[in-house]
Amino acid sequence: MNPASARPYRGVFPVAPTIFDDRGELDLDGQRRCIDFMIDAGSNGICILANFSEQFVLTDAERDLVLDAVLKHVAGRVPVIVTTTHFASHICAERSRRAEQAGAAMVMVMPPYHGATIRAGEAGIYEFFATLSDAIEIPIMIQDAPVSGTALSAPFLARMAKEIANVAYFKIEVPYAAAKLREMIRLGGDAVEGPWDGEEAITLMADLDAGATGTMPSAAYPDALRRIVDDFAAGRRDAAMAGYARWLPLINYENRQCGLLACKALMKEGGIIACEGARHPIPPLHPATRAGLVEIARTLDPLILRWGR
């Protein structure tokens, strides 16, 4: 196993997109090339089957195919986090056991939610994560993101870190993420093993200053984000800030204009994958939006535009 896999996990753990062909079927060869690029680009680890992986358009059988293909192909080169979110406690636990048996280093899970109105209360959320923790031996990352529509306070997250054995990592990607990270770390202490951010790293510098030790962006430019995070971790904050300022226009364009389609568009542009499409009914990027993305990216010369050429 790569030394980067030793706990605590730190650094840049991008979300791998799920690769489809022109018919909308899984392209597992393209998936493997995507993973190889991510590792070559310096990713400390990889997350699969997340929202940015379009996990919500996959059947259970397809989830298993992607899980097995990726973990077999990674073969221990870097740690792999598997998203196992499900509303039902026992199904989430079953998914998580399956991921652990396949070789996952960690699972990432959102609090139980469905649609716009069905939520669990705080007691139910606590029991949900306690049930999950009892089912596995690897760490759990709680994903705190607006898509769940569930308020998770810093005191509640810190309490779960202290009281639930495997709850140790937190991906915070809500408004005022830095303030929440800072408060959670203060309250949770050493029980908060991994305070991370997400949302394409759009708040990365503020979050690193608040104590974040990891980030989970898209897979578009882990080479750039790795340099920023490494500089910050080595005490070179000025260099990290300069790097962040240089890449922020692309980070912003991805986050505000493209969403989960940006990474695939750049992978296609760079010859990594053959098809950049998402599954219907997700529409493709408007040609002008895609052109703007590629234009900004070319000024920065990310590995994604060169790796497959």
Catalytically active residues, by annotation = 171
Residue in the block written with tokens 């139980």: 112
Residue in the block written with tokens 């730190």: 10
Rounded Cα distance, 212 and 194, in Å = 8
Closest by CA to 228, choosing from 216, 210, 245, is: 245
Rounded Cα distance, 179 and 241, in Å = 19
Q: Which residues contact 107 (CB under 8 A, 6 or more apart)?
A: 81, 82, 83, 84, 95, 96, 99, 100, 132, 136, 138, 139, 140, 141
User: What are 156's two structure tokens?
Assistant: 């509640």
Strand partners, 167: 140
Classify residue 305 by burial, with Cβ atoms within 10 Å: 0-12, 13-18, 19+.
Answer: buried
Rounded Cα distance, 66 and 239, in Å = 37
Longest Cα–Cα distance of the chain, Å, equals 52
User: What are 294's two structure tokens?
Assistant: 């590629």
- Which secondary-structure segment (H or E) carries 108? strand 106-109
Buried/exposed 51-68: b ≥16 CB within 10 Å, e otherwise: bbbbbeebeeeebeebbe
Looking at this protein, which amino acid is placed at residue 167?
V
Phi, psi of 33 (to 5 degrees): -65, -40
Contact 276, 267 (CB under 8 A): yes
